[in-house]
Structure 1
């Protein structure tokens, strides 16, 4: 997965893929299909053009119970829109009917295949259809279309899964098709077998975001003797991402503040850099100077090749950060590597734990389950009081 290149490749991509993979390993679930768009363009990975891709289970303790050749979890890529061009989600709205047609063709074909395998020759239809969508973006021209689609979804859905109570009360309550007070009253009437007088609202279910634990690496001590590789065990060299981060620092032995987020205005990265660099806060500019003297700052801002090739919004944020680093002369104190792999995120957290880091969750929004990896790697963290990582860790212990 290419995460962090733009607003379409945020943490929700990893979340929904892991959700499909986990469902595919559950007893009683024969098959899970994750439907997405097929793209065969030179500027994206070739795998995006593959019509089908199996999501192999990563947890050997809970293998898929093979009951047929078509069981398990799959990514199914439906061709719709310009096949040879990657376009952002805001521009896909006119092509949604084409996607629906392609998805129906796949469902009908697969129902026949599954019918031959487990249905005694009768078509096997999906038990549940889950619609997962990300932020509607800032495209004002398509905003009304996005809202209408979500209103129709509310009218047709039996259950809506959310991550927090705050999401129900402050987001879904904005739609005409849902009112949390009326929804609770209708649920109570249904439980008492009393007529709802023709009113209907979908049931809201809170499921805090989870994550896969197989890649979590326990913290095994501090950085003494390890940062610069002196005396390190040659049989277990440091992960490459460590060197990629440490090359920015003139004194890599200091603790660091870690922020892991895309270069997006909603992530507040510039505010963090300003606080670190010298903008007077409640205690004045001296506080920022003390931070610079005692700490380092690591900014993992997605992946990029060339700033000129980034979207205008993301490029603007990154350029602002580079200007702030220059303005406050923070060279040698701030790391901002261009690339990192999703598989390297646990290593970044492990480095953070070794340097006695403080991890800052910058989201002003709501769901990014990948942030639960910070406390699981023994990294002190600071979430919003209503953020899903808080709920997830409270639920999962």
Structure 2
């Protein structure tokens, strides 16, 4: 099967292309911009994620024989357009916020400069990746903040599409999660993987001790034993009896997690397993994690709420044409307005490092950064080729960690409110 990403697009992208090729406007130089008009309800900041995946997808955006045959058979476009598509290679320039950067309403997250024909066909690809990954990373960052330094394991693969599971694991890791249960994410992105057993393994054996004994013999006493298949108190007793006081961890996957964690800690300590960690999972989100902050929990496993964006499954980003042949253009539809012109942005900070505002300005009229200001866009593609400014996943994790330190304390709260900093348009 083809590895091309060219058909991860909408029908109308190609019909627009066909019409533009026919009327002679296809080669007009244009600027397209990705931005979000607003943050999802209740969010104070957004996290940019998916840029690296988008750049990889642009590299693979090729209409080979298989894709051309599909388009010809379905009659999407005419033969002249098919010939143009067969030779398609993106040759334009892309600037954008690096992965791990924060964004706010109106932030010019991505600027695509190319002919109309080359740029318009990338719209759906860009939005499907950036909207998904940024939504997951934004939710994950809130969860990591609520966990206050405790270990976070992404385990939502069974609650989403198989490819979305891999992308979600990457976005969560970027946002500060420690590991993922998804092995494909480990292979593609080098993310640490983690996992031991499910309730089915305990039920397979004649009794709980037999299951624990089998797991310890296979994985060592440092493993994590799932203790809530039957009775948690008895499960913890059996776990320590089988593995000894050097047991790595116990996992609790149901019930009142705060109460059970306290009881588990007391029982483990009384059995001499003072260094055995407590892992909790089961329908956790950032609010549940925050509520457990005072409890003796050492790690969290998060699934459904993470891979669905914890109530905000899309970042609400749009891909709009903002400039044609150097002339700003803008959409004026009610509630769907856009600001014309190619833009850049900088973030102003106090001397202490706290962010004050996002300033968006015309790229043709650059603003001189102040001593504590930081320009936000970096060159990502030049002539269709990646630059040396594209960050690695590890660098993106570090970038987000540093960016969150600059957010005003009020903006890090989980409560509803205005964006953490205002956006000013010049």
TM-score for both structures, normalised by structure 1: 0.23
> Over alpha carbons, which structure has the higher Rg?
2
Which structure carries more strand by proportion?
2
Q: TM-score, normalised by structure 2?
A: 0.21
Question: Higher relative contact order at CA 8 Å, sep ≥6: structure 1 or structure 2?
Answer: 2
